[in-house]
Amino acid sequence: MTLDVSRREFLRVSATAAGGMLIAFRVPAAPATPTPPEPEFAPNAFVRIAADGRVTVIINKAEMGQGICTSLSMVLAEELDADWSRIGFEFAPVDPVYAHPGFGIQMTGGSTSTMGMTEPMRQAGAVARAMLVTAAARRWGVPEADCATAGGAVAHPRSGRRAGYGELAAAAARLPVPDGVPLKPAAQWKLIGRPTPRLDTRAKVEGSAVFSIDVNLPGMLTALVAHPPTFTGRARRIRDAAARAVPGVVDVVDVGSGVAVLAKGFWPAKLGRDRLEVEWDLGEAATLSSEALRQHYRELAGRPGLVAHKAGDVDAALAAGRVLRADYEVPYLAHAPMEPLNCVVDLRADSCEIWAGSQFQTVDHAAAAAAAGLPGAKVKLHTTFLGGGFGRRANPASDYIVEAVKIAKAAKAPVKMIWTRTDDLRAGYYRPMWHSRVAAACDEAGAITGWRHTIVGQSIIAGTPFEPMMIKDGIDSTSVEGAADLAYAIPNVLVDLHTTKVPVPTLWWRSVGHSHTAFVVESFLDEIAAATRQDPLALRRRLLQGKDRLLGVLELAAAKSGWSTPAPAGRARGLAVHPSFNSFVAVVLEVSLERGWPRVHRATLAVDCGRTINPGTVTAQLEGAVGFALSTALYSAITLADGQVEQSNFHDYRMLRLHEMPAVDVHVVPSEAQPTGIGEPGVPPVAPALCNALFRLTGRRIRRLPIRREDLA
Amino acid sequence: MITLEVNGRSVVVDVDPGTPLLWVLRENLQLMGTKYGCGAAQCGSCTVHVDGNAVRSCVLPVSAAAGKKVTTIEGLTEPSGAALKQAWIELDVPQCGYCQTGQIMSAAILLRQKRQPSDADIDACMGGNVCRCATYVRIRGAIHRAAALARGGAR
């Protein structure tokens, strides 16, 4: 591919979806991708059209199941008037041109991909289309205005001429990139909003989709790492003779974060690691225990914290009204993606290639370069499919990437580092453990006059490069989101925060702060409804007047679930509604007890996530969110004893199984608003809806997750 | 040297006989559709067929598969397997996709045993396969759909 200098100029587009900021994207000077075998038309960094008409969309996001490859391809193809059957995609190399329009780095998170990238991808498609039209019009000597596009071809209806995009690609590639190309009006959309099969399904069904664990290189060694038993541990003494004696074991190296066994394959590496004897310095974390932390947090919750939100005079309201109080607790949680963390590194004297299911390309690339001791330009990061992410593969510390590069440095051969399931569960970077103390005052009519919420837990942002952006006046916005911005109309509110310092690494985990705040807010609101003998729906309705989108999903879920009718015998319904990631989700769960344990029969969800690009994806994300959140509410906890994580595999870090999955009905509020988040917003309201249903069923209020059998009896 | 038949082809591998079949498939035979998830037969991502039974290949020593017929997702060509793949595609089942080949391999055994599995049959057969994305609603739907396709009842 040759590019003339004029087309390297910056192309500016107004990304209204990203808060109206101007973003710039330029034609990358042939970014890390190899030269294509034949000339392709590459008007910008997001699309290439080959001479045979194949269209390749460049995806700057991690595909971890959310369907983003398809959604972004759809919006680009829409403006391009492409033939959908000729669309393919590939993952972008690391380049500033692929940065997140809001966060300024190449990353996937915060349920922002559709919101941030829809307009740039439409623009990219529209520019390509305009250039193809110009090329055709010049070839035929006709006005551009008389040309039309559809199905991957330009036509001139008056003369009956028609040329496929592939035929025009070479000519279009010689044209200057136009500015200010108009986008299609929504009324002309053929793809956006139409249920469209995912582009990655077939490969995933046939087993040919490449995750980083599937990457093989000639001469590659497999590395397993013995990590210290605590988060502050280091190897003091290593006895590796027995490990090295295992046939196939090639080397044993201490890389600081652990001791790696390098071998010709997973199994010898595993056998070698099993035979490794390491004496560890355990460090300060050796005394940590979840029980002691719980007591410490409970004590902190009784003291005033840093104020995150204040309205009116909550003390006066609590002094005057009828007061309800409660404490809520949630544990550390592991992301536990089905593909355990792994990374492939080919480190040479003056180059480094990495294959990883990264959600955080800019950060991982820079960390890898630093670990390799190479300038960034010498480091190439290939993003593969992710066998689940949920935030774990977006780590500001790039822990597993750095570890793999360090191992490769010692190995002097290409390396695939694989964490076993146990390694993955015990390696830290958890959703923090949280304690919430809430109090509410009500008047005689049942109106809530005061609301106080004290939150205790670790900051996931402190100490990361995101601190200046996300911590203001000592408040980590991700600690209090969903609580400090309480949607309910209550005159006197105080939300305060104790940020604890505990040597347990923490990280964002699908729905981040909302994963604990929604549980507290939506459960406690139900407690208030019960104590004041109000219907939970009626109380919420009363407190959400004017919040039309939130009210909209609440009413829709209530209506579709049959909220106003009695639940079937032996069952009860629970309701919760929560805004997050600029979207709105309400959930009604229908629940019974079977042999003393919750059985969720039916989940009815209503969502308002703005305009829907691919309706099937929206439904899928909410179906999945129900199961993901039920796993958490019913089973998941990472606990510590003597500084060590107690869980080791799926038997003690349980996942919901198929037979436990409820039927899920998803109802989408039609909207022409800009698309907003869908990967995460389904998660927060599920746990409180479950506990609210269980309260109606048993009269017992669950204030601690995961649910324990004794809390129900 | 251990001889086994993988996807209809006789192969000889020179590995420690205790090596789990999973790693022989992935590392010696480059059949990457079978996935590592837990190493302890707890998640089903590594499910393959050995002499017609669903087996968690992450815990089965390759020596135990010697002389037996092993089928992986790449070799699942029987009509009900094709029906499963088609149904999985029709319903757009996968999200991250990592566990799905194991899910399909488990479902294939079910369809071999039951032409028209009930929800209870599906519950009983599929409980060993974890999906962290929780695509279970669609997995159930796709098994019913595949059963219909395999019975010749397309549409």
Same domain assignment for residues B39 and B22: yes
With an 8 Å Cβ cutoff, are A661 and B136 in contact?
yes
CA distance A401 to chain B (A): 19
Task: Say how far apart CA A339 and CA B133 lie, in whole Å.
Answer: 12
pLDDT at A141 exceeding the cut of 90: yes
Identify whether A235 is part of a domain: yes
Same domain assignment for residues A512 and A550: yes
Average pLDDT over residues A639-663: 98
Average pLDDT over residues A483-510: 98
Same domain assignment for residues A216 and A202: no
pLDDT band with cut points at 50, 70 and 90 for residue A33: low
CA distance A133 to chain B (A): 35
Helix (H, G, I), strand (E, B) or coil at A535: coil
pLDDT at A430 exceeding the cut of 80: yes
Same domain assignment for residues A674 and A573: yes
pLDDT at A297 exceeding the cut of 50: yes
With an 8 Å Cβ cutoff, are A208 and B33 in contact?
yes
pLDDT at A26 exceeding the cut of 50: no
Average pLDDT over residues A196-217: 98
Same domain assignment for residues A453 and A305: yes
Same domain assignment for residues A500 and A529: yes
pLDDT band with cut points at 50, 70 and 90 for residue B1: very high
Same domain assignment for residues B87 and B60: no
pLDDT score, position B153? 59
Instruction: Specify the DSSP element, H or E, that contains A59.
Output: strand A55-59
Last residue of a domain, one of B34, B58, B75: B75
Same domain assignment for residues A528 and A573: yes
**Contact present, A362 and A381 (Cβ < 8 Å):** no
Name the average pLDDT for chain A. 94
Smallest Cβ–Cβ distance between B33 and the set A207, A390, A616 belongs to A207
Q: What is the CATH number of the domain that holds B15?
A: 3.10.20.30
Same domain assignment for residues B8 and B71: yes
**Contact present, B135 and B80 (Cβ < 8 Å):** no
Same domain assignment for residues A555 and A408: no
Identify whether A436 is part of a domain: yes
Same domain assignment for residues A220 and A261: yes
Q: What is the CATH number of the domain that holds B97?
A: 1.10.150.120
pLDDT score, position A39? 73
pLDDT band with cut points at 50, 70 and 90 for residue A10: very low
pLDDT tens digits for range B68-109:
999 999 999 999 999 999 999 999 999 999 999 999 999 999
With an 8 Å Cβ cutoff, are B96 and A385 in contact?
yes
Comparing A1-10, A162-171, A269-278, which segment has the lowest mean pLDDT? Answer: A1-10
Tell me the count of A-B CB pairs closer than 8 A: 189
Same domain assignment for residues A28 and A172: yes
Last residue of a domain, one of B46, B75, B104: B75
| Contacts with A418 from chain B: Cβ below 8 Å | 36
Same domain assignment for residues A625 and A691: yes
Domain count, chain B: 2
Same domain assignment for residues B91 and B137: yes
pLDDT at A479 exceeding the cut of 50: yes
**Contact present, B146 and B126 (Cβ < 8 Å):** no
Comparing A26-40, A408-422, B60-74, B122-136, which segment has the lowest mean pLDDT? Answer: A26-40
pLDDT tens digits for range B118-147:
999 999 999 999 999 999 999 999 999 999
pLDDT score, position A37? 55
β-pairing, A448-458 with B2-6? unpaired
Alpha carbon B81 to chain centroid distance? 10
Same domain assignment for residues B53 and B88: no
pLDDT score, position A19? 26
Same domain assignment for residues B51 and B86: no
Same domain assignment for residues B34 and B66: yes
Average pLDDT over residues A329-351: 98
pLDDT score, position A303? 98
Identify whether A424 is part of a domain: no
Residue of A70, A338, A344, A686 to mutate for B, most B C-beta atoms under 10 A: A338
Task: Say how far apart CA A151 and CA A85 lie, in whole Å.
Answer: 9
Identify whether B41 is part of a domain: yes
Same domain assignment for residues A261 and A294: no
Identify whether A425 is part of a domain: no
pLDDT at A9 exceeding the cut of 60: no
Same domain assignment for residues B89 and B60: no
pLDDT score, position A35? 53
pLDDT band with cut points at 50, 70 and 90 for residue A57: very high
Identify whether A423 is part of a domain: no
pLDDT at A360 exceeding the cut of 90: yes
| Contacts with B71 from chain A: Cβ below 8 Å | none
Helix (H, G, I), strand (E, B) or coil at B84: helix
Percent of chain A clearing pLDDT 90 (strictly above): 94
Average pLDDT over residues A554-564: 98
Same domain assignment for residues B87 and B70: no
What domain range includes position A394?
A: 212-283+341-418
Last residue of a domain, one of B19, B49, B75: B75
Identify whether B60 is part of a domain: yes
| Contacts with B42 from chain A: Cβ below 8 Å | 421, 649-651
Comparing A35-44, A175-184, A226-235, A273-282, which segment has the lowest mean pLDDT? Answer: A35-44
A465: exposed, middle or buried (Cβ count in 10 Å: 0-12, 13-18, 19+): exposed
Per the omega criterion (within 30 degrees of 0), is the bond before A706 cis? yes
Burial B116-154 (b: 16+ CB within 10 A, else e): ebeeebbbebbebbbbbbbbbbbbbbbbbbbbbbbeeee
Average pLDDT over residues A274-301: 98
Helix (H, G, I), strand (E, B) or coil at A324: strand
Same domain assignment for residues A139 and A45: yes
Last residue of a domain, one of A206, A233, A259: A206
Alpha carbon A36 to chain centroid distance? 32
Q: What is the CATH number of the domain that holds A470?
A: 3.30.365.10
Domain count, chain A: 3
Contact B45/A at CB under 8 A: yes
Identify whether A586 is part of a domain: yes
Identify whether B99 is part of a domain: yes
Last residue of a domain, one of A383, A418, A453: A418
Task: Say how far apart CA B28 and CA B34 lie, in whole Å.
Answer: 13
Same domain assignment for residues B70 and B84: no
Average pLDDT over residues A412-426: 97
pLDDT band with cut points at 50, 70 and 90 for residue B152: confident
Task: Say how far apart CA A711 and CA A693 lie, in whole Å.
Answer: 14
What domain range includes position B48?
A: 2-75
Residue whose entry in the numeric block shows the structure tokens 């076993």 = A420
pLDDT tens digits for range A102-140:
999 999 999 999 999 999 999 999 999 999 999 999 999
Same domain assignment for residues B7 and B67: yes
Identify whether B155 is part of a domain: no
Between CA A171 and CA A182, with CA A176 as vertex, the angle to 5 degrees is 105
